[in-house]
Structure 1
Amino acid sequence: MEANSRWVALTAVAPVAWGANYYVTRAYLPPDSPLYGAALRALPAGLALLALRRRRPRGVWWWRSAVLGVVNVSVFFALVYAASQLLPTSVASTVMAASPLTMMFLAWPLVAERPRAAHLAGAAIGLGGVCLMLLTGAVAASIAGMLASAAAVLVSSFGHLLTKRWSGGTDMIATTAWQLVAGGLFLLPFAAAVEGAPPALSPAALLAFGFVSLVATALAFTAWFTGLRHLPAGTVGLIGLLNPVTGVLCGVLIAGEELTVRQLCGLALVLTGVVLGRPARTRASAPGGPCAPAAGQVSSCASRSISSPSSQTPVRWLRQ
């Protein structure tokens, strides 16, 4: 259970960084260059991680890195930007808060993880808390923006679970690095064709891009994908509810926004949902390690290897 707590704490780094990213992006980054913004967010992050793991893909990981980069980086970043432009932040954040339920239901066919009742209850309570915090009902919602936000939920849930399915036994820093590089390179020609020359960046914008790229992308994505490897998808999805919580707290502590009683109640509900989704307490590990089978049982790691050929991929998938 102590090990699970460490993985939960590591995974929580990602939604906290993404929640802070809302404020940094809105306050300091150019609003009219979404494609360049996404590319400048992805490429430096990928190159920084490659500096830590100087390895290149091998075999099937050439096309897997490209697929995951397009889904998790290129398409997702573009959809999130479109939703943030077409919808009030409160509405866009609330739609994205549906991702825990989406991830749970997609995890069943993709990675053979059936959602637990506690996960479903936590997701419902957490979604209710986000709605209580953010929805005001005072503004009309764009249909196009709602569709973009809903598509972002589906794309990110599918891409993250595909990463979980494929990345067993691989170096997580290296896999994340190549996803970011592939996604950033894919965006560049579209950015040049649609937006023309890259935007001029002030010193403040350069510092903001440093945070967005290194903290909210390189560090956050590595933590998130590592959590997906070691925790149930339902638990990881619920930890993602810390994203809108962090956004609200940044608004109060940094931007001087008012924290209402309704928002405090919503925060309490969200945190309750996250606690409900914590990993179930397991038996102590056998001497053979955390995957050693109990008497008369098949090892859970062995069953995963049989059911998912991709999990047999060894760490040497990357060539030095």
Structure 2
Amino acid sequence: MNTTHTQQASTFMVIVAFATVYLVWGSTYFFIQKAVHDIPPFIMGAMRFIAAGVIMMAWCIAKGEKLWNAKQVMVASIAGCLLLFIGSGAVIWAERKLPSSLVAVLVSSSALWFVILDKPKWKENFGSGYIITGLAVGFVGVVLLFSEGVSEAFSSTGSLAQVTGLLVLVAGCISWAGGSLYSKYKGSGTALVNTTWQMLAAGLAFFLFSFIAGEWSSFTVASVSDVAWWSMIYLVIMGSLAGYSAYVWLLQVRPATQVSTYAYVNPVVAVLLGVLLAGEKMSMIQVAGLAIILASVVLINIARQRNEQKAPAAKNGVAAKAA
């Protein structure tokens, strides 16, 4: 597979995949916080991704997928460590130190790192006013959405822990964007196989670091609440098997900048779930932030549609000249 170009995919499947990434990942902030309350972060990551990886491998074997291509395994393992161990690991660790609202603000910056790090698309991305405007507007919307929560976080005690958490999150966002692009351009084979090896590699990395961090010395299975276990099950099935698989597939069939819009939509879903399920209230500033975020996604997708319409026209023009 030539991964320097996006593959063709049905519009319906693309819509379903985007809906899964948008909605499911928006809910994972809540469940990560519930799980990490009782389970140490590295142990939690190991449990989540090893379980999901084993299930995915069983599915690959049942489908007769080719699992043992050395180059594919190596690339997928590197991508998995960048994406899941460092990227998702930063979120898991930070949610023990920072309010989820503050975590969501920083994670949304991943969309900006996609543009900065996607060198093959620099000309296209930086040459599109719609894309640049959409990314900037989206980040402003996320800041507005969580501005009140961020102010409260910085006005409280424990500023050193918060600064450390912020730095970890920034590193995680950069690693997530870099790992996504590495997987897109260097990966080969099916999304199913790539996802399997990414999860297993990340799970093993989490497992190793759980010993280095000494988490097992104070952890007992009996101390984990039912809420934490159910949260873990949700993260494995919905967050990893459904959400992450859809994400890896989208990276193969859609431009990375378009896929990165999940970073703006996930906080919207998180807020709406808080209002609907936890009885939280929304201020006018938060409503404005939601509207701005949705407008940013529209701008970015308009740019993509225009670029896709221009591409066939340009090819037809070249063909006409050649004739």
TM tier, shorter chain?
Answer: 0.7 to 0.9
Q: CA deviation at 1:161?
A: 0.7
**For residues 245-256 of structure 1, what are the structure 2 equivalents within 5 Å?**
245-256=268-279
Match of 1:97 among 83, 108, 121: 108
Q: Deviations over 1:56-95 (max 9, x none)?
A: 2313123212212221122223221232223222222111
Match of 1:316 in 2: none
1:87 maps to amino acid = L
Match of 1:133 in 2: 145
Distance 1:77 1:238, change over 3 A: closer
Tell me the distance in 2 between the aligned counterparts of 1:73 and 1:263.
30
Distance 1:132 1:192, change over 3 A: same
1:187 maps to amino acid = F
Match of 1:314 in 2: none
Tell me the distance in 2 between the aligned counterparts of 1:2 and 1:183.
28
2:34 maps to amino acid = A
Check whether the contact 1:12–1:239 (CA below 8 A) recurs between aligned residues: no
Match of 1:294 in 2: 316
Q: CA deviation at 1:152?
A: 1.0
Match of 2:86 in 1: 75
Q: Deviations over 1:116-154 (max 9, x none)?
A: 321211111111111111022233252211111111110
Distance 1:112 1:12, change over 3 A: farther
Which SS does the other structure have where 1:225 is aligned?
helix
Tell me the distance in 1 between the aligned counterparts of 2:120 and 2:305.
21
1:75 maps to amino acid = I
Tell me the distance in 2 between the aligned counterparts of 1:161 and 1:259.
35
Larger CA deviation: 49-58 vs 220-229: 49-58
Q: CA deviation at 1:7?
A: 1.7
Q: CA deviation at 1:16?
A: 2.0
Tell me the distance in 2 between the aligned counterparts of 1:5 and 1:274.
19
- How many equivalent residue pairs? 293
Which segments of 5 or more consecutive residues in structure 2 lack a partner in the other structure?
A: 1-7
**For residues 1-320 of structure 1, what are the structure 2 equivalents within 5 Å?**
3-4=10-11, 6-54=13-61, 55-109=66-120, 114-115=125-126, 116-136=128-148, 137-140=151-154, 142-168=162-188, 170-193=189-212, 194-196=214-216, 199-200=220-221, 201-278=224-301, 279-281=304-306, 282-283=308-309, 293-296=315-318
Tell me the distance in 2 between the aligned counterparts of 1:174 and 1:105.
28
Distance 1:113 1:66, change over 3 A: farther
Tell me the distance in 2 between the aligned counterparts of 1:69 and 1:75.
9
Normalising to structure 1: TM-score of the pair? 0.82
Distance 1:80 1:63, change over 3 A: same
Check whether the contact 1:11–1:226 (CA below 8 A) recurs between aligned residues: no
Tell me the distance in 1 between the aligned counterparts of 2:181 and 2:310.
27
Q: CA deviation at 1:297?
A: 5.2
Name the structure where helix makes up a greater proportion of residues. 2
Distance 1:113 1:48, change over 3 A: farther
Which segments of 5 or more consecutive residues in structure 1 lack a partner in the other structure?
A: 287-291, 299-320
Tell me the distance in 1 between the aligned counterparts of 2:114 and 2:19.
16
Check whether the contact 2:109–2:139 (CA below 8 A) recurs between aligned residues: yes
Tell me the distance in 1 between the aligned counterparts of 2:262 and 2:181.
15
Check whether the contact 2:191–2:252 (CA below 8 A) recurs between aligned residues: no
Normalising to structure 2: TM-score of the pair? 0.82
1:245 maps to amino acid = V
Match of 1:305 in 2: none
Distance 1:108 1:251, change over 3 A: same
Tell me the distance in 1 between the aligned counterparts of 2:311 and 2:102.
44
Check whether the contact 1:39–1:187 (CA below 8 A) recurs between aligned residues: yes
1:39 maps to amino acid = A
Which SS does the other structure have where 1:149 is aligned?
helix
